[in-house]
C-alpha cells in the first residue's frame, strides 16, 4: 500500500486515509456503516461492532459536528505504513480550473454574524462561541480527491492529512471530507491519553520579523489566552470522570504554514481501560475549540446566527481498533468535496474583546490551507 499508485487507487475505491509525519493509515475494503444513523449512535455502537473482529479491522471515518446528524463511520481493514503519504499520488496533474467562487456568507455578512455572537456574549448568555463561514469553489471538472490529499499532505507535513468518504464509497459522485488538521482531539494507547487542543490564532506573515512579532503578540494576547483557557478547562472537566493524573501545562505556540495557534499538550491516565477512544470522543465532542462555552448555550447561538450546515466540518475524524485504542483529530482546515464543488470551511472563536474585521481576516487565513492546495498545485 506504500506505493503512490496503490494509495491513489484505494482512495478512488472509497478508502479512508489518515497521513501524518510518523505513519500513514489506509482503511481498505470498507464494510457497511457502523450500525446507527447519527454520529452519537455510531460512536456508542462502534466498540460492539468491533467485538470479535479480526485484529486488523478498525472503525474509521467522520463524526459530524452535530452529533444528532448522520455519521460516516465504517468497518474495514487497516493498512499502516511508516512515514507520511508517499507523493505524488497520481503522477503529474494539473490544478483544477475554478470557474466560480462564492463566500457564504460574504465577509461583511460574516462580520455581522460575529457581532450577533458578541451581542449574546455581552448579554451574559455565554462566554465563547465559535462561528464559521465557507468559500464555495466551482471547477470546470470534478475535483480529484487523491490530488487534493497529496497537495494537502505535501504542504502541511506536521498536520494529519485526511480523506474520508461521507456517502457510499461506491458512489463516484458522493461527498468526501478532505483536509489537513493540526488539532489532535485525542490519542488513546492502552491507559494513556494525549490531547492537544488549539484555540487562539493569528495569521502568519511571509516576512520573518513580522511573523515572530505576530507569534509574540499571540502569546501575550489576553483575549486569545482567555479563549484558549475555556477550551482547556472544558477538556479537563470532561476527562475527570474517566481519567486520573490529568496534566494541562501552560499553552505553547504551534505553527502551520498559514496560522500561529495556541496549543496545550494535555496528558492523562484512564481509570479503567474498558474506556475506549470513542467513549472519550462522545464525552469531549464538541469542545469549546469548535463550539463554545458553555457548550449548550454556544450550540444554541450557532444554530441561531451562523446559518450553515457544517456537516462533518468541526467534527471528529479518526479511527478505533479492536482493543479500544484510537486516534481522532478535529476536522478543521477541511473542505467538503462533491463533483465539481469544493466547500472550504473556517471558523473563529468569539469572546469578549473579539473584533469582527479581525475574525474575517483570521478565517480567511485558515481557508488558505485548503485553498492553496486546491488551486496552486
Q: What is the pLDDT of residue 10?
A: 77
CA atoms of 372 and 370, how far apart (whole Å):
6
pLDDT, tens digit, 9 for 90 and up, residues 291-321 = 999 999 999 999 999 999 999 999 999 999 9
pLDDT, tens digit, 9 for 90 and up, residues 315-361 = 999 999 999 999 999 999 999 999 999 999 999 999 999 999 999 99
CA atoms of 5 and 346, how far apart (whole Å):
31
Q: 47: pLDDT confidence band, cut at 50, 70 and 90?
A: very high
Grid cell listed for 260:
500561529
Q: Find the mean pLDDT for residues 272-287.
A: 97
CB within 8 A of 1, min separation 6: which ones?
7, 10, 26, 28, 79, 81
Q: What is the pLDDT of residue 92?
A: 45
Residue where the block lists cell 498559514: 258
Res. 11: pLDDT tops 90? no
Residue where the block lists cell 481493514: 77
SS3 of residue 145 by DSSP: helix
Among the listed residues 47, 102, 96, 100, the one whose alpha carbon sits nearest the alpha carbon of residue 75: 47
pTM of the predicted protein model: 0.94
Q: 45: pLDDT confidence band, cut at 50, 70 and 90?
A: very high
Is residue 263 a contact partner of residue 289, using CB atoms and an 8 Å limit?
no
Active site residues: 128, 183
Give the chain's end-to-end CA distance (angstroms, integer): 24
Q: Per this entry, what is the length of the chain?
A: 377
- Helices (H) and strands (E) counted in the chain, each on its own, are 9, 20
pLDDT, tens digit, 9 for 90 and up, residues 247-269 = 999 999 999 999 999 999 999 99
pLDDT top residue among 91 and 93: 93
Res. 39: pLDDT tops 50? yes
Is residue 264 a contact partner of residue 196, using CB atoms and an 8 Å limit?
yes
CA atoms of 341 and 230, how far apart (whole Å):
35
CA atoms of 61 and 72, how far apart (whole Å):
6
Could you count the other beta carbons within 10 Å of the beta carbon of residue 202?
22
Amino acid at each position: 500500500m506504500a506505493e503512490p499508485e496503490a494509495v491513489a487507487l484505494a482512495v478512488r475505491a472509497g478508502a479512508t486515509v489518515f497521513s501524518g509525519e510518523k505513519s500513514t493509515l489506509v482503511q481498505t475494503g470498507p464494510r457497511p456503516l457502523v450500525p446507527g444513523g447519527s454520529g452519537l449512535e455510531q460512536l456508542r455502537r462502534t466498540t460492539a461492532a468491533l467485538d470479535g473482529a479480526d485484529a486488523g479491522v478498525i472503525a474509521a471515518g467522520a463524526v459530524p459536528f452535530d452529533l444528532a446528524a448522520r455519521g460516516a463511520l465504517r468497518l474495514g481493514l487497516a493498512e499502516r505504513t511508516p512515514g507520511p503519504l508517499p507523493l505524488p499520488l497520481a503522477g503529474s496533474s494539473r490544478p483544477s480550473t475554478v470557474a466560480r467562487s462564492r463566500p457564504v456568507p460574504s465577509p461583511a455578512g460574516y462580520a455581522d454574524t460575529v457581532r450577533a455572537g458578541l451581542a449574546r456574549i455581552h448579554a451574559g448568555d455565554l462566554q465563547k462561541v465559535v462561528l464559521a463561514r465557507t468559500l464555495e469553489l466551482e471547477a470546470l471538472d470534478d475535483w480529484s480527491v487523491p490530488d487534493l490529499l497529496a497537495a494537502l499532505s505535501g504542504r502541511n507535513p506536521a498536520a494529519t492529512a485526511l480523506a474520508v468518504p461521507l456517502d457510499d464509497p461506491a458512489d463516484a459522485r458522493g461527498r468526501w471530507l478532505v483536509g489537513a488538521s493540526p488539532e489532535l482531539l485525542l490519542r488513546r494507547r492502552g491507559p494513556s491519553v494525549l490531547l492537544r487542543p488549539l484555540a487562539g490564532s493569528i495569521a502568519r506573515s511571509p516576512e520573518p520579523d513580522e511573523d515572530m512579532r505576530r507569534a509574540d503578540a499571540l502569546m501575550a494576547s489576553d483575549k486569545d489566552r482567555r479563549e484558549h483557557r475555556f477550551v482547556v478547562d472544558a477538556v479537563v472537566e470532561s476527562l475527570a470522570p474517566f481519567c486520573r493524573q490529568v496534566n494541562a501545562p501552560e499553552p505553547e505556540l504551534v505553527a502551520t504554514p498559514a496560522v500561529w495557534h495556541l496549543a496545550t499538550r494535555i496528558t492523562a491516565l484512564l481509570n479503567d481501560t474498558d474506556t475506549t477512544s470513542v467513549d472519550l470522543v462522545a464525552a469531549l465532542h464538541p469542545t469549546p475549540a469548535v463550539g463554545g462555552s458553555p457548550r449548550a448555550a454556544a450550540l444554541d447561538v450557532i444554530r441561531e446566527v451562523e446559518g450553515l450546515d457544517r456537516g462533518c466540518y468541526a467534527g471528529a475524524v479518526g479511527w478505533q481498533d479492536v482493543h479500544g485504542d484510537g486516534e481522532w483529530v478535529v476536522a478543521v482546515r477541511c473542505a467538503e468535496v462533491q463533483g465539481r464543488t469544493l466547500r472550504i470551511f473556517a471558523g473563529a472563536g468569539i469572546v469578549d474583546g473579539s473584533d469582527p474585521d479581525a475574525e474575517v481576516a483570521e478565517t480567511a487565513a485558515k481557508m488558505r490551507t485548503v485553498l492553496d492546495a486546491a488551486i496552486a498545485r
